[in-house]
Structure 1
Amino acid sequence: MLLRLRVSLPDRPGGLGQVAKALGALGADILQVTVLEREAGRAVDDFTVSWPGPVTPSDAREKLSSMPGVRVEGVWVTKEVPGSAPDYDLLMHVAAEPGRGFATLVDALPGLCGAEWSLAVADGVVQHASLAAPAEFDLPEPPPRAVTRDFKELRLMLLPVLKQGLHLVVARAEGPVFHRAEVERAARIVDVVSKLAARS
């Protein structure tokens, strides 16, 4: 089973190695590590791991939380293939068919962001929706910039595309709130797709 683990740990030499050693002792194979932030003496890292046998996110959280100084901020099942470049694949598809740019983006965002679904809303109407997305969605106060919100047991990332009058919604039911590094990355991708789609 592939899991993503978001871990906050002391930012000191050997800290990452201790977490890696603990994961190995628990039977997890680390496939990828992404550093999300380093500040105030702590680091926040996302680990993508292959965990043999059946394990639930709560089992993984319990096993890791016993490590001194380590806080597990989230554990969730992922379909992300470590080492792949889905953002580049997305941009190639949009460049090939810019007229379908936003539909392609909405389909790709759940995989890019470790989320369950995404959709594009304009004037209260869902314009495009990925698999598992609701057919209708009441956008809570459309923001003028990319933000995160908790909404009805969901963690949302809201990404405005003001020139097109769209707001993209990315929803995560499991795992932690979207980190600012995730929001910034998604906002940059949306900006590039907007520019490519404008050429159609």
Structure 2
Amino acid sequence: MFLLRLIIPDRPGSLGTVATALGEVSADIHAIEIVEHRRENGTAVDDIVVDLPPGVLPDRLVSACNSVPDVEVIWFSRYGAGGGLHMDLEAVEQMTSSPAEAIDLLVEQGPAVLHADWAALIDGTGADVKVALETSATPEFGEVAAAWLPLEKATTLAAPDHKGLAESVLVAAPLESDRRILVVGRRGGPEFLGSEVARLSYLASLAVTIRATA
């Protein structure tokens, strides 16, 4: 499957026109998510997860979108899992089903929820800063994680010039304290938008609340 992140006009029919263009190159749309409304300029940012039949070149997806007036492709990559609101709800359901493991479950679900590649729980509450939990494909942090602490609220992070991280875009949110944080990363992009930062902030706060009921 492939992930397309598009800027489209925020008006009726725009998304349908894009879907029609993708259909003309035999793309099978699996999910569409409105990531952000940009009311100041009348556009929206949408993520579209699509698949292609054998023999169809992926470049045709970009060409199809670019053929639609006023549509801009800002990110295109292979993508291995679905995401979006239904993943938010699935994460919440899992956390409420196992309150004692709510934070661990959020770390595990973080990449799918945010269309990302990896997630890690950084713990600096003790003498040393350490990775308490990580998903597969999480890069080595070395000493750079200490620079992210303390973290008072959810925000994007500047990627340090460190092997495995320099090409990543990062977002993080505090959990039980400002020295225990969830970091989620995408290799290469796209950048995390304000709406995605807000979603992570909400889910992190919810995980802490659910964990407290255990």
State the TM-score, normalized to the length of structure 2.
Answer: 0.80
**What residue in structure 2 maps to residue 105 of structure 1?**
106
Question: Percent identity at matched positions?
Answer: 29
Q: Give a deviation string over 1:116-164, Cα, whole Å, max 9, x none.
A: 1100112221111111113545224333211123411001111112537
Q: Superposed, which structure 2 residues align to 1:16-55 within 5 Å? A: 16-38=15-37, 39=39, 40-53=41-54
Q: What letter corresponds to residue 127 of structure 1 in structure 2?
A: A
CA 1:132–1:25 in structure 2 vs 1: closer, same or farther (change >3 Å)? same
Q: What letter corresponds to residue 141 of structure 1 in structure 2?
A: W
Q: Superposed, which structure 2 residues align to 1:156-175 within 5 Å? A: 156-163=170-177, 165-175=179-189
**What residue in structure 1 maps to residue 14 of structure 2?**
15
Asked if the contact 2:27–2:61 (Cα under 8 Å) also holds between the matched residues in 1, the reply is no
Cα distance in 1 for partners of 2:56, 2:152 equals 40
CA 1:14–1:126 in structure 2 vs 1: closer, same or farther (change >3 Å)? same
Asked if the contact 2:121–2:131 (Cα under 8 Å) also holds between the matched residues in 1, the reply is yes
CA 1:156–1:54 in structure 2 vs 1: closer, same or farther (change >3 Å)? farther
Asked if the contact 1:4–1:47 (Cα under 8 Å) also holds between the matched residues in 2, the reply is yes
Q: Give a deviation string over 1:42-98, Cα, whole Å, max 9, x none.
A: 122111222222667666334433433111111222233479833333333323332
Q: What letter corresponds to residue 102 of structure 1 in structure 2?
A: I
Q: Give a deviation string over 1:159-182, Cα, whole Å, max 9, x none.
A: 112537311100111441112222
Q: What letter corresponds to residue 110 of structure 1 in structure 2?
A: P
**What residue in structure 1 maps to residue 4 of structure 2?**
5
Q: Superposed, which structure 2 residues align to 1:55-66 within 5 Å? A: 60-66=61-67
Cα distance in 1 for partners of 2:131, 2:83 equals 31
Cα distance in 2 for partners of 1:170, 1:44 equals 20
**What residue in structure 2 maps to residue 192 of structure 1?**
206
The count of aligned residue pairs is: 199
Cα distance in 1 for partners of 2:140, 2:105 equals 17
Aligned with 1:147 (options 148, 152, 155): 155
Q: What letter corresponds to residue 8 of structure 2 in structure 1?
A: L
**What residue in structure 1 maps to residue 78 of structure 2?**
77
Asked if the contact 1:31–1:82 (Cα under 8 Å) also holds between the matched residues in 2, the reply is no
For the residue of structure 1 that corresponds to 2:88, the secondary structure is helix
The alignment's C-alpha RMSD in Å is 2.5
Aligned with 1:129 (options 123, 131, 134): 134
Tell me whether 28-37 or 187-196 shows the greater mean CA deviation: 28-37
Q: Which runs of 5+ in 2 are unaligned?
A: 160-165
CA 1:153–1:135 in structure 2 vs 1: closer, same or farther (change >3 Å)? closer
Q: Which runs of 5+ in 1 are unaligned?
A: none
For the residue of structure 2 that corresponds to 1:114, the secondary structure is coil
Q: What letter corresponds to residue 183 of structure 2 in structure 1?
A: V
Q: How many angstroms does 1:193 deviate by?
A: 0.7
